[in-house]
Amino acid sequence: MWTVPAAVRHGGLMSEFKRSEQPADGDERDITLGWLAFHRDALQAKCEGLTAEGLVRRAAEPSRLSLLGLVRHMAEMERAYGSWPLGEDPAFQWVWGAYEDGAEDDIDCTVDDADLSYLTWMDERSKTDRALAGRHDLGTLSKVNGRSVRWNLAKLVGEYARHNGHADIIRERIDGQTGE
């Protein structure tokens, strides 16, 4: 599983990790959770080998997206469609800010945000995983957003898949690296 990247720990290159493979065929829960793991790891892989400066580089102008901004955004999505609706706390609060006056508090980040951004993403992922551990029936409705576990997970996997496409382009623009 995730460890704090070397770029975050030491200002150097990120360390290697073992990625989740595409899920094998199986029941709905195993396939859905398998795709979630695959897409989480795909985003992490796009960040591998980069310094903190590389992680915040906005390499696909005029877009303001960076790989670290995507990591921060996915921490928000983990909360919005994972840890919050599948957990027990009815109160919702965004991870990075209130997004007032056109601010994109998740996407807007600097090198100084690397440590906290990665740790927060991992924390939100862990909260989602803990909430899912008690939710075996994907048809169960969330008490806080009224949608099924299935709907929330499909939305979360879709967010990862969508933004992993952005991550592919950003990483290729940074250093030419391609692939899933």
Considering only 21-30, 85-94, 147-156, which range has the smallest mean pLDDT?
85-94
Q: How far is CA 164 from the centre of its chain?
A: 9
Q: What pLDDT is recorded for position 17?
A: 66
Compute the distance between CA of residue 157 and CA of residue 154 in angstroms, rounded to an integer. 5
- Using the Cα atoms of residue 98, residue 101, residue 102 and residue 108 in order, give the sign of their dihedral: negative
Q: How far is CA 151 from the centre of its chain?
A: 17
The terminus-to-terminus CA distance of the chain in angstroms comes to: 18
How many helices and strands in the chain, by DSSP H and E?
A: 7, 0
In the beta sheet, which residues pair with residue 127? none
When computed from its CA atoms, the radius of gyration of the chain, rounded to whole angstroms, is 16
Percent of the chain with pLDDT over 70: 89
- Per-residue pLDDT of 118-148, as tens digits, reads 999 999 999 999 999 988 899 999 999 999 9
Helix axes 114-133, 149-175, angle to 10 degrees: 150
Average pLDDT along the chain = 88
- Per-residue pLDDT of 24-43, as tens digits, reads 999 999 999 999 999 999 99
Q: Give mean pLDDT, residues 161-175.
A: 95
In the beta sheet, which residues pair with residue 141? 148
Q: Are 14 and 49 in contact (CB under 8 A)?
A: yes
Q: Are 20 and 144 in contact (CB under 8 A)?
A: no
Helix (H, G, I), strand (E, B) or coil at 141: strand
Compute the distance between CA of residue 56 and CA of residue 45 in angstroms, rounded to an integer. 15
Sorted by sequence, the CB contacts under 8 Å of residue 34 that are 6+ apart come out as 20, 22, 23, 24, 26
